[in-house]
Structure 1
Amino acid sequence: MLAAPLAGCGGNWQSALDVYGTSAISLKHLIILIVAVCSLVWMLVLIALIAALWRSRDARPVSPEPGRERRMTIAVTGAVVATVLIIGTFTVMSFVATRALTVAGQDDLTIRVRGLQWWWGLEYIGPDPSSRFETANEIHIPVGRKVRLKLEGLDVIHSFWVPSLAGKQDLVPGRPNELTIRAEHAGIYRGQCAEFCGMQHAHMSLLVIAEPQDDFDKWTATQRQTAAQPADEQTAAGLQTFLAKPCAACHTIRGTAAVGTTGPDLTHVGNRRTIAAGLFETTRGSLAAWIADPQTIKPGNNMPMVPLTPDELRAVSAYLASLK
C-alpha cells in the first residue's frame, strides 16, 4: 500500500507535517516544539500584561513598596536568561535537524538533479560509467536507503523541496549543493520548486517514487536500456518524423540518432507518470497536445512549436507513448 497517495494528475498533496522521511520527521518534531514553546511564551506574556493592567486600574499614586525594584530586576533578568536559553536551544536543535539533510555515505545512491526553466533533469550516477542513465521530472528511490542528491542550477536559482521527505535546498548556478533524502515507507511524494524562477515557476513540480529494492532494481534495469524499437508502421513513421524534425536536435532517445541535450531525455518518456514537469498525466492525447502547442499550454517554456501535419502528429505521439 502506498503511504502517501498522489492526489490527481501531477498531485497537489504536499505538506511538511505529512512526513515519511527521516529528515522530514526530524524537521516536523522541531516545528512542533518551536510552535509549542512560542505559544507558551506568548500566553505568559499576555498573562503578565493582563496582570499589569489589572493592578494599574487604580490611577491614584501609591508609595513605593519596599523591595519592589529588586523583585522587578530579578523578573527582568530571569526573562532575559530564559530568552537566551530558549533561542540557544532552538539554534542547537535546528543545527542538528538540518545537518541530517546533507549527511551521506560513500555507498549511498547518488542522483544529479539539475534545475532548469521549468523542469528537472536527473542523472543516476553509479560506480560504473556504463550504468549511468538520465531521465526527467520523476525520481525513483529504494525504500529505507539514503539517497544523495547533487543539486545544480543551470539558469536561475531554483529550490528542490519534497516536504514529506526532507527540507528544501537551493540550486544556485555555479555553486553545487547536496541534499540527502530517505523514504521510510513506499509511496509517491510530490515535490515542487520552492524558489520563484520565472513565469512557469508554479508548473515546475516533480514526483519522488519510493519503492521496494526489488522494484527499484527492475526500474533501473529498464531505464538503462535503449529505446524500444517501433512495433508497427505508425510508430516507425513517428520515429522517422521525430528524427527529421528539430525534435532530435533538442532531445535524446538512446538507441536512435536523436542526441540533443537541451530538453529532457525521452528514452522512456512513455513510462513516466506525467509530462511537462507534472502538468499533465502521460497519455498519447496529452503528448499530442503538448507537441502541437507547447506555448499555449506552458507559456514561456523553451520548447518551440514544430509544424506537423495531423498524420505526423499522430505518428509522433504514438511513438513517444510507446517508449516504456
Structure 2
Amino acid sequence: MRTARASHKPARFKVRLLGAYVAFALATISRSVDAESTAPLDYFLHAGGPAARPTMHLGWALAAIAVLVTLIVGVLLVAAIVRKRPLNAEDSLHADAGGMRWIYIGTGVSSVALLAILVYILITLERVASPVTHPQLTIIVTAYDWWWKVDYTDDSNPKRNFSAANEIHIPVGEPVRIELKSADVVHAFWVPQLAGKTQTIPGQTNQQWIQADHAGVYRGQCSQFCGAQHAHMAFEVVAQSPADFNEWRDSQGQPAMSPANADNVSTGGAASVANGKRLFADRCAGCHTIRGTDAQGLQAPDLTHLDSRRTIAAGALSNTPEHLLDWIQHAQQIKPEALMPDIALSAADAAALSAYLATLH
C-alpha cells in the first residue's frame, strides 16, 4: 500500500504543476488584455489596417490547414494501429496494393493543396506589396542596439525636419512609407496590427508601408534576435487624425523651449532647472541631442521633446519622472549591455536634472 501511494505522487505533482501553469497563463492573458499597451503576440491575430488584413487572413487559413492536416494524419494513424494485420501472404499482397492506392491519393491531394496555398500566398504578397494610393508621408526608421531612431523629413519645409525615438506618429486613413535602415546588426521592424515583418539590414535600405484605419496606439517590436536586449526593443505607432498629426508634427519640429519660459518652472525652481541644464550639458550632451541647445550628440535618442513621449528605453518603462531617474541611474540593471551607462547622481543633482528634463515638452 505504501508503494502504491508513492507511485501516485509524481502524477499528482504533474497535475498540480500543469494546473499552476494554466493559472499563470490565464492570469498573464488577463493582465495583457487589460493593459493599455500589450506585447505584439497578444494581438497579432487582429488587423488594424489594409497592409495587415490580407496577411492576417492568410495566417488564419494556414493555421486552419495545419490543424486539418494534423487531424487527418492522427485519424489515419489511429486507424492503422487499430486495423488488424493480414493473416496470410495472399491477403498481405492485397493489403499492400490498397495501401499504395492511399499513398497515391494522399500525394495527389497534398500536391493540389500545396499548389493552392502557394497561389494564395503569392496573391497576398501582391496585395500588401504597395498601397492603393501613393504615400504622401515618408518616415525613415533606423534600428540601433536597442532602440529606434525615427526621422521625419520635409524637403519643402526644413523646419518640419526632426528626429524622435521609439514613437512613430502617423495620420489615420493614409498610407505611410517606412524606409528601414540599421546602424549595427540585422533587426526586424514589426507592427503586427498594421503590417508584416521587414528586416533592417546594415548598408541596405528596405521599405514597408503601414496604414491605420482608426486612431490609437499600436505596439511594435523587433522580431529578429539582435542581442541581449532584443526583447526590450519595442516601439509604438500612434495613429492620429490628420489635424492632430499635423499639430503634433509642427510642435515636434520646434526646438526645445527655454527653461525660463517653460510653463512648469516656478520662480523658486528656475535655479534648479538651470543647474539641471548644466548637468545635462556636462554628463549627457556627448550622446544626446536637444535642439536649440549645445547638446548635439548623435549616438543616442534625441530628447528635444522627451516629456511628450509615452515610454522610455524603447518601451521598457513608462515615461514618468520616477522611471526616468531610475533609467538614468540604473540603466545597466534595467537593460544590461545597453550603451546607456549608469550615471551616479547625488540627491540634489537628481532633482535638478529631473526638473530640467520635465521642461522638454
TM bracket, shorter-chain basis: 0.7 to 0.9
Q: How many angstroms apart in 2 are the aligned matches of 1:159 and 1:129?
A: 31
Q: Is the Cα–Cα contact under 8 Å of residues 141 and 149 in structure 2 kept in the other structure?
A: yes
Aligned partner of 1:56 among 84, 90, 93: 84
What is the aligned-residue identity percentage?
38
Structure 1 match to 2:227: 198
Structure 2 match to 1:85: 112
What does 1:199-278 align with in structure 2 at a 5 Å threshold?
199-230=228-259, 231=262, 232=265, 233=270, 234-243=272-281, 245-278=282-315
Structure 2 match to 1:141: 170
Query: Deviations for 1:243-302, whole angstroms, at most 9, x for unmatched residues?
Result: 2x1311211111111111111000101000011111111112222222223222222111
Structure 2 match to 1:26: 54
In the TM superposition, residue 56 of structure 1 has moved relative to its aligned partner by 3.4
What does 1:28-43 align with in structure 2 at a 5 Å threshold?
28-43=56-71
SS class of match (1:135): strand
What does 1:140-219 align with in structure 2 at a 5 Å threshold?
140-219=169-248
Corresponding letter in the other structure for 2:278: Q
Q: Is the Cα–Cα contact under 8 Å of residues 123 and 133 in structure 1 kept in the other structure?
A: yes
SS class of match (2:70): helix
SS class of match (1:165): coil
Structure 1 match to 2:139: 111
- The structure with more helix, counted as a fraction of residues: 2
Q: How many angstroms apart in 2 are the aligned matches of 1:132 and 1:101?
A: 28
In the TM superposition, residue 239 of structure 1 has moved relative to its aligned partner by 1.8
Give the gaps of 5 or more residues in structure 1: none
Q: How many angstroms apart in 2 are the aligned matches of 1:256 and 1:192?
A: 32
Q: Provide closer, same or farther for how the CA distance between residues 291 and 239 of structure 1 changes in structure 2, counting only shifts above 3 A.
A: same
Deviates most, 38-47 or 150-159:
38-47
Q: How many angstroms apart in 2 are the aligned matches of 1:64 and 1:309?
A: 87
In the TM superposition, residue 154 of structure 1 has moved relative to its aligned partner by 0.8
TM-score (norm 1): 0.88
Structure 2 match to 1:128: 156
Q: How many angstroms apart in 2 are the aligned matches of 1:107 and 1:319?
A: 38
Q: Is the Cα–Cα contact under 8 Å of residues 37 and 217 in structure 2 kept in the other structure?
A: no
In the TM superposition, residue 204 of structure 1 has moved relative to its aligned partner by 0.9
> Are positions 1:94 and 2:128 aligned together?
no
Q: Provide closer, same or farther for how the CA distance between residues 319 and 96 of structure 1 changes in structure 2, counting only shifts above 3 A.
A: farther
Q: Provide closer, same or farther for how the CA distance between residues 7 and 176 of structure 1 changes in structure 2, counting only shifts above 3 A.
A: farther
What does 1:245-324 align with in structure 2 at a 5 Å threshold?
245-324=282-361
Query: Deviations for 1:110-156, whole angstroms, at most 9, x for unmatched residues?
Result: 11111101111000133425022110001111111111111111111
Q: Is the Cα–Cα contact under 8 Å of residues 199 and 300 in structure 1 kept in the other structure?
A: yes
In the TM superposition, residue 183 of structure 1 has moved relative to its aligned partner by 1.2
Corresponding letter in the other structure for 2:296: V
In the TM superposition, residue 67 of structure 1 has moved relative to its aligned partner by 12
SS class of match (2:140): strand
Q: How many angstroms apart in 2 are the aligned matches of 1:109 and 1:310?
A: 44
In the TM superposition, residue 10 of structure 1 has moved relative to its aligned partner by 5.9
Higher relative contact order (CA 8 A, sep 6+): 1
Corresponding letter in the other structure for 1:175: Q
- Root-mean-square deviation (Å): 2.6
Q: How many residues align?
A: 318
